[in-house]
């Protein structure tokens, strides 16, 4: 139920302000992953996963990065350090169009 709410909220936020870029091809969508840090992410840090997704969605919208879906997966192992750049074990997953230009912009933001 929690994930449905998060997905619905992020879809609502992300779908309101941008147009879908045109693309041609068989593999229209691609999934990209960003390994969340303790506090060094460019969009800031939310105290909950829901707030983090809202911040990520706002950052993506502000930078014109189309996304068809956005969620957090918590199945990694956190790094044993307290620095801001240490990984939390969570991954931010985004589904977007399989466009080289979009993938390059996402890569600049740390998504792989």
- Write the pLDDT tens digit of every residue in 72-82: 999 999 999 98
CA–CA separation, 65 vs 47, rounded Å? 24
Are 57 and 7 in contact by the 8 Å Cβ rule? The answer is no
pLDDT of residue 17: 47
- Write the pLDDT tens digit of every residue in 98-108: 999 999 999 99
What's the chain's average pLDDT?
Answer: 84
pLDDT of residue 10: 56
CA–CA separation, 56 vs 67, rounded Å? 11
CA–CA separation, 80 vs 15, rounded Å? 37
pLDDT at 23 over 70: no
- Write the pLDDT tens digit of every residue in 1-13: 555 555 555 555 5
Q: Which runs of E-coded beta strand occur in 15-63? A: 29-37
């Amino acid at each position: 139920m929690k994930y449905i709410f998060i997905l619905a909220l992020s879809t609502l936020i992300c779908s309101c302000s941008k147009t879908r870029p045109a693309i041609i091809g068989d593999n229209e969508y691609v999934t990209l992953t960003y390994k969340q840090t303790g506090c060094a992410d460019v969009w800031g840090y939310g105290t909950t996963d829901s707030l983090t997704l809202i911040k990520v969605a706002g950052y993506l919208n502000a930078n014109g990065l189309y996304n068809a879906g956005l969620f957090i997966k918590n199945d990694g192992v956190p790094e044993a350090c307290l620095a801001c750049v240490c990984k939390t074990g969570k991954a931010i997953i985004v589904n977007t169009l399989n466009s080289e230009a979009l993938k390059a912009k996402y890569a600049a933001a740390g998504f792989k």
